[in-house]
Structure formats: structure tokens, C-alpha cells
Amino acid sequence: MVQKLPRVSIGLPVYNGDNYIRVAIDSVLTQTFTDWELVVCDNCSNDSTEEIVRSYAERDSRVRYIRNASNIGAAANHNLTMTLSRGEYFKLYAHDDMLLPTFLERCVEVLDRDPEVVNCHTKTMIMDGQGKDVKPNPWHLRTESPNPRTRFHDLVWVHHHCFQIYGVVRREILMKTPLLSIYPSSDQVLLAELALHGRFHEVPEFLFRSRRHERQSVALAPEHLKGRKVRSKWFTRNGVPAYTFNAPNASRKLSFHMWRVVREYFCAAWRSPASLGNKLWCTANVALYAVANTHKLIRDVLIAGDQIWQQSRMKRHTEVSQEARP
């Protein structure tokens, strides 16, 4: 007997998420659209996440639980939920976020109706750790424009929170991209590449709630490493928490965050199905973006220099300590 595949796959990567994962799963179970599977990839949690998710999987066969043998890093774990999914559509989902009951129904309606839409998302309400509404997402991007240049420009140039990454995406198109990678802002690059495949659509209802709380990976950074100006440093120095968009064993590697982002924007344009004219326009646009962010490119070099100096100092200290031993 051939097993019927779900229309929508929801990928939930998690590491030590017992604080909010019950709320997240419950909001999936109450969806009015019921033809879905929930793929939970546990990145070797050491709290009660496994026990909680397995209890749901035992009660509902649509919940699939996969536990990694070791922490493979956040990017790889996110990508694992995508590659293991089987649905026509895919939705990435964080363990601390929440969906209103009609989220999937409204998004699937749009994707079924308009084949030119590659990503359907809803308006986003930001909430605090207790689930209290804080403010609506303040950023508006022209990702519904029929012009791929406009979509690409806004996703590259306009500061935003990348909430569209949590929309419902055509999985066939998503799998034509490199997915997420081990550098900050890879979600923003992925969105820009998807936008060259087709339009985004925003359902004008607040059906997605994104939580901000003290246990998020960026919030766990030491005080002296907080802030956008040192985000690349936070992702590459000692003290990085085990669950970030970097690989767990990459904390000592040099990072050229902005250089990587610029390169990946170039690659995204040329991987896409855009016309030659649009690819050339995107290339010129990214070149201008690089010029506008020259200070960040220079900062990456300075950070790398600091890393090399710190590593050299630690090496010398170790050698001196060994020589001093009787």
C-alpha cells in the first residue's frame, strides 16, 4: 500500500527547547488545515525535549521525532528538517514561536491558487517570553512585486527580521537552493534567492507570533559581544553556545561574515532562473551593496586579525607553561 504524502511539511529544529515546545506543537495540532506532518529534529538536547516530543508522536502519527546522535550545528539541523520533509509545501518553524489556527489554511489557499507565488507568509506579531504581544513586525518589503529586481533589492538592502523564512514555501523550489549555511545572515541570502524564483505573498492577518526571550542564542551572548557590530565575532569566537547558525566545532575558525554574505548574494543571482539581464542587474546591485558596506568588510579583516593574535598569544602561553614544568 502506497503511503499518502502530506501536503505540508513543518520542520521544527530544536535544541533544549522544553521551555516552549509544548506551545509550539499544540498550535500545530489546532490548525484548521490538517494535511500536514511535523518533522522535529532534536539536536541532541539534554533537557526534557525528547520526552515531550515523543509523547506527542505516540499520540499523533503526523508528528515525527528524529534525534541526532550529536549536536550537528543549527544550520545543519535546520536543513535536516527540510531534507527529511515529504510535503509539497514546507514551513520552517522555531520551537518558541506560535501559529494561530488558520495559518496553514490561509497560506495553502494562496499557493494552490497562484503558482507564481513561491513563499506565502502572514503578518507577524512579536511577543515576549510570557506570550504577551509586544509589537507587530515593523518592516515592509516589496516582495510581492512582479519585478524580480525589486524583490531582490529589498531583501538585500532593507533591514528586516527575515520573518518570511517562516512562511510556507514550495519545497521543490526550496531544494534547488543551498538551504542554510554556517554563517550569520544565510537566512537573508536564502530569501533573496527564493525571491528570484517567484513572488512572495503576505496574508494580511496576524497569524504568526514570533517570541523574543532571554534564552535565544543571540541573547545568550556575553555582554561585551552583544550588538549587530560584533555579531560575526559572536558567531566565531570561543564562548559560542552549542546551538547557533555555526557548526559546534567551528568556534576557532576565522570568519569573514560580510565577505561571505556578498559572495553568496552573487552566487544566488547566478544560480537562479532569472534572465541574463536580471542576473547582470543583481550582480551590479550586490557590487553597490559591497561598496556601501566597505566598513563591514574592513571590520571582518580586523576581527580576523584579532583572532589570529589571540590564538597566537594562547599558543605562546601554552608553550611557556609547558617549558616551565619540571
Average pLDDT value for residue range 28-45: 97
The pTM score is 0.85
Is 112 a member of any domain? yes
Between CA 319 and CA 326 the distance in angstroms is 14
Between 81 and 313, the higher pLDDT residue = 81
Domain range enclosing 202: 8-211
Asked if residues 118 and 168 have their Cβ atoms less than 8 Å apart, the reply is no
Q: What would the pLDDT profile of 118-140 be if each residue is shown by its tens digit?
A: 999 999 999 998 888 899 988 88
Do the strands 89-92 and 168-170 form a parallel or antiparallel pair, or are they unpaired?
Answer: antiparallel
Beta strand segments in 128-166, E = 133-136
**What pLDDT is stored for residue 312 in this prediction?**
76
C-alpha to C-alpha distances, 303 to 93, 201, 234, nearest whole angstrom: 32, 39, 11
What's 60's domain CATH number? 3.90.550.10
Overall number of domains in the chain? 1
Is 269 a member of any domain? no
C-alpha cell at 292: 556601501
**What pLDDT is stored for residue 304 in this prediction?**
80
Asked if residues 49 and 42 have their Cβ atoms less than 8 Å apart, the reply is yes
Average pLDDT value for residue range 31-56: 97
Between CA 179 and CA 191 the distance in angstroms is 10
**What pLDDT is stored for residue 244 in this prediction?**
43
Is 60 a member of any domain? yes
Binned at pLDDT 50, 70 and 90, residue 221 comes out as very low
The distance from CA 220 to its chain's CA centroid, rounded to whole angstroms, is 17
Residue 22 reports pLDDT greater than 50: yes
| Residue 232: DSSP 8-state | H
Is 307 a member of any domain? no
Quick count: other Cβ atoms within 10 Å of Cβ 180?
22
Q: What would the pLDDT profile of 48-76 be if each residue is shown by its tens digit?
A: 999 999 999 999 999 999 999 999 999 99
C-alpha cell at 107: 497560506
- Using a 10 angstrom Cβ sphere, with 0-12 exposed, 13-18 middle and 19 or more buried, the burial of residue 230 is middle
Is 80 a member of any domain? yes
Asked if residues 152 and 269 have their Cβ atoms less than 8 Å apart, the reply is yes
Asked if residues 68 and 44 have their Cβ atoms less than 8 Å apart, the reply is yes
Is 236 a member of any domain? no
Asked if residues 90 and 176 have their Cβ atoms less than 8 Å apart, the reply is no
Asked if residues 236 and 255 have their Cβ atoms less than 8 Å apart, the reply is yes
**What pLDDT is stored for residue 238 in this prediction?**
37
Binned at pLDDT 50, 70 and 90, residue 104 comes out as very high
Between CA 9 and CA 169 the distance in angstroms is 10
Quick count: other Cβ atoms within 10 Å of Cβ 175?
13
Q: Which of 82-86, 90-94, 220-224 has the lowest mean pLDDT?
A: 220-224
**What pLDDT is stored for residue 247 in this prediction?**
60
- Whole-number percent of the chain with pLDDT over 90: 71
Between 321 and 314, the higher pLDDT residue = 314
**What pLDDT is stored for residue 252 in this prediction?**
54
Q: What would the pLDDT profile of 149-179 be if each residue is shown by its tens digit?
A: 999 999 999 988 899 999 999 999 999 999 9
Q: Which residues pair with 5 in a beta bridge?
A: none
**What pLDDT is stored for residue 75 in this prediction?**
92
Is 278 a member of any domain? no
Is 168 a member of any domain? yes
Residue 98 reports pLDDT greater than 80: yes
